[in-house]
Copies of this chain bind each other. A is one copy, B any other.
Amino acid sequence: MTLVPEIDGERLLARLDAFARIGATPAGGVNRQAFSVEDRGARRLLAKLAMERGFAVFQDGIANLFVRREGTDATLPPLLIGSHLDSQPTGGRFDGALGTLAAFEALEALEDAKAETAMPIEVVAWSNEEGSRFAPGVMGSMAFTGSDPAAWKSSVGADGASLATELEATIAALPEAALRPIGKPISGYIELHIEQGPSLEKERLPIGVVTGVQGTRWLEVSIEGTAGHAGTTGLAYRRDPMVAAVAAMHRLQTTIMPPDSSARLTVGRIAAKPGSINAIPQSVAFTVDIRHPRMERLDAIEAELRQVCGAEAETQHCTATIKRSFDMPGAAFSPNMVKIVEAAASSLGLPHKQMISGAFHDALFLARVAPAAMIFVPCRDGLSHNEAEYVEPAYAVTGARVLLQAAIAAASPR
């Protein structure tokens, strides 16, 4: 008789603790930046645990790490499950680590139960997801899905280190992992991650079924007017860029986000020059972060922003300059893979909702080459990229259970 594969919650939580000690910060977070000594330590620990269970371990030239459990049909490409092990400099214990270790726990659960899957399943720890030490982030998944890593090799880290040197040392620190070419056919990808936002916690839902990742575009608006004395310059003689900027921001804040619930618009940075309390500014510059799952809406919002800023600047006899400084297209996940995740949550009797990820993840890139989906679990107060990041143990285990069920279903299609 076959056992039913079951997540061992205690084992998963003990693993999360063990990995949290690698790069632990005094405030309870982790500093395990990409290709650092701490990052290498986490990779070595995962490889050691994998080999102890008899799984094969591989890495590729960008230091993505793979733990493979074979399936029954050698002709099928593997199903990938995982996330990342690197962290922000003052990062949390769960961002990336939960998804990677839950995936490994799922693999162990299958092994414990001697359960068979048609496809091979590989746990993956994508390299340099965070990008806080070496730009760009999501480096491992970008390379795996076709971006040329040669362009990044000259990167110098925030700490002055060379990416090429640190990458080579990271790979060399794991001689037991056989080297593979970067990228290969896969059957699908499922990633468990903490929400990094407050909605699941506020709605008391243990599971978010992620249907896609929002596209992100950054715009830098600069409005140029004429500096003047705050007292002596009458209304008729003002070219006040602050009035134009405020009017433009107000229109965007009232017309875009509330009507379109999938859109996000954030003004995070603003400055007036010269910045004197009793002077009309010469110029006002502000940033706008816009997000939307659909590219054509991002385009439409940008067009509206350009029109609104231009018109409000003109009304104040000012000029507006708008620069696009970042553009990351979103992704809609495979409806079939989303259905598999949803069915897994339902089969476990877990309340859940469909949602869009507002942050980017490795899954964004995997979705371009294979059916992909994500599972979110709540994190306290929506906090992430923060040493205070916290996930209730019950939620961590629940997330792993959904991942396991979804992986079983995805790896053995009916």
Binds B, one of A15-23, A163-171, A262-270: A262-270
Task: Return the contact of A235 from the options B249, B250, B258, B360 (Cβ within 8 A).
Answer: B258
**Least Cβ–Cβ distance between A217 and chain B, in angstroms:** 11
> Could you tell me if B264 and A253 are in contact, using CB atoms closer than 8 angstroms?
no
Judge whether A359 is part of the interface by a CB distance below 8 angstroms: yes
Across the interface, name the chain B residue whose C-beta is closest to A267: B242
| A31 CB-CB contact with B under 8 Å | no
**A339 within 8 Å of B by Cβ?**
no
Residues on B with C-beta less than 8 A from A236 are 199, 202
Question: How far in angstroms is the closest Cβ of chain B from A211?
Answer: 15
- A233-B197, A235-B257 known; A267+B246 contact, CB < 8 A: yes
Q: Is the CB of A264 within 8 A of B231?
A: yes
Distance between A311 CB and nearest chain B CB, rounded to angstroms: 15
Contact for A231 among B279, B284, B325, B359, CB less than 8 A: B359
Question: Closest Cβ of chain B: how far from A385's Cβ, in Å?
Answer: 8
Q: Contacts of A257 on B, CB cut-off 8 Å?
A: 235
Q: Is the CB of B291 within 8 A of A234?
A: no
Determine if A185 is an interface residue (Cβ-Cβ < 8 Å). no
CB atoms of A277 and B289 under 8 A apart: yes
The answer to whether A230 and B291 have CB atoms under 8 Å apart is: yes
Question: Is B382 touching A228 in the complex (CB atoms < 8 A)?
Answer: yes
Which of A266-288 touch B at CB < 8 Å?
A: 266-272, 275-281, 284, 287
Shortest CB distance A292–B (Å): 10
* A173 shortest CB reach to chain B, Å: 32
- Find the B residue at minimum CB distance from A215: B231
A214 near B: Cβ within 8 Å? yes
Q: Give chain A interface residues in 221-267, CB to chain B under 8 Å.
A: 228-237, 240, 242-243, 246-247, 249-250, 253, 257-258, 261, 264, 266-267
A271 / chain B contacts, CB cutoff of 8 Å: 270-271
With both chains docked as a complex, state the minimum distance between the C-beta of A365 and any C-beta of chain B, in angstroms: 16
Question: CB distance A214 to B199 under 8 Å?
Answer: no
Shortest CB-to-CB span from A244 to chain B, Å, is 10
Q: With A232-B358, A246-B246, A358-B233 given, is the CB distance from A268 to B258 under 8 Å?
A: no
A258 to B247, CA, bound (A): 14
- In the assembled complex, the Cα of A228 lies from the Cα of B269 at a distance in Å of 13
A382 lies within 8 A of B199 (CB): no
Listed A/B pairs (24) with beta-carbon separation below 8 Å = A195-B232, A197-B234, A199-B234, A218-B277, A229-B358, A229-B384, A229-B385, A230-B266, A230-B358, A231-B264, A231-B357, A231-B360, A232-B357, A232-B358, A233-B382, A240-B266, A242-B249, A243-B253, A246-B250, A266-B280, A267-B272, A269-B277, A270-B284, A277-B325
**Which 8 residue pairs of A and B lie closest in terms of their CB atoms, listed nearest first?**
A197-B232, A231-B358, A232-B358, A230-B266, A250-B250, A230-B289, A198-B237, A277-B287
